[in-house]
Structure 1
Amino acid sequence: MAPLRTIMTRDLVTASKDATLKEVAALMADNDIGNVLFMDGERLAGILTDRDIVVRAVAFGRDPGSLAVDHASADPFTLDADTEIAEAAAQMGEKQIRRLPVTEGGKVVGIVSLSDLSNRTGGDADQQALEGISTPTL
């Protein structure tokens, strides 16, 4: 199989650490995406997904004007762009993640989602990841 670089999305949407939940949600809507990255210089500091907004903020009545970064996953798991797709799918399943930032030389250069695995690999890789994500942790 091919490396992640062949299926990753290269157009990354980032937000500053002072962006609010409402602003990040608007970025997601405007760009038709389900995640926004928070950067500290060139280092990935966090990722916020549409699911995070619902589960970590809305479900608890958080103010849409509160800082989005406070609800983000800090220091997200990443893989190198040369990682084989099958290995990435296995890691996504094991770690139960739906979106995987992709790095090159320590710098974020792309992102791979479950839909990327499905749409760009013929569906084999996403099945492995989805099985791991769907398995409840004890």
Structure 2
Amino acid sequence: MTPNPVTVDPQATLKEVATLMLEQDIGAVLVMEGDRPTGIITDRDIVIRAVAYGHDSGTAVTDYTTGDVFTMDADTSVEDAADEMGRQQLRRLPVTENGRVVGIVSIGDLAVRASGNADEQALQGVSVPSDNHNS
């Protein structure tokens, strides 16, 4: 898990988020309303959903986020998290503790830090085509 994920409020612009991604060397930012995650936006979302259509970089990030953020509790096992990432087709999974976001797990984290085949479990589900476009 990467602790303390980078977050923005819903009024942040695409340019602000892209700048954060550049400065922090990250590919995803959580959109938060208070302590509640309301969306996640990735570098790919910015390119595919906004730039490719010529949309203005001053546009609010919420127009391009993936909503309905699925989270898991911090004491969830790596294997269970990987299974759920596969089922939900998620490449990134915010981690909560007492209802507050404390980190984020990516498939890359599973590949680098997990023992066994947790990354393969998650990737198998994510690689299955679906209508769900979570990042």
| TM-score, structure 2 normalization | 0.90
Aligned to 2:55: 62
Aligned to 1:45: 38
Distance 2:116 2:54 in 1: 37
The answer to which of 98-107 and 8-17 deviates more is 8-17
TM superposition outliers: structure 1 runs of 4+ over 4 Å = none
The number of residue pairs the alignment matches comes to 131
Shift of 1:48: 0.8
Q: Secondary structure at the match of 1:48?
A: strand
Aligned to 2:98: 105
- Structure number with higher helix proportion: 1
Shift of 1:123: 6.0
Letter in 2 for 1:63: D
The correspondence for 1:29, drawn from 22, 32, 50, is 22
Structure 2 portions without partners, runs of 5+: none
Provide closer, same or farther for how the CA distance between residues 72 and 123 of structure 1 changes in structure 2, counting only shifts above 3 A: farther
Distance 2:57 2:114 in 1: 37
Q: Identity across aligned pairs (percent)?
A: 57
Provide closer, same or farther for how the CA distance between residues 70 and 123 of structure 1 changes in structure 2, counting only shifts above 3 A: farther
Shift of 1:69: 1.7
Structure 1 portions without partners, runs of 5+: 1-7
Letter in 2 for 1:46: G
Letter in 1 for 2:29: V
| TM-score, structure 1 normalization | 0.88
Alignment pair present for 1:93 and 2:86: yes
Shift of 1:11: 2.6
Distance 1:12 1:116 in 2: 13
Shift of 1:22: 1.1
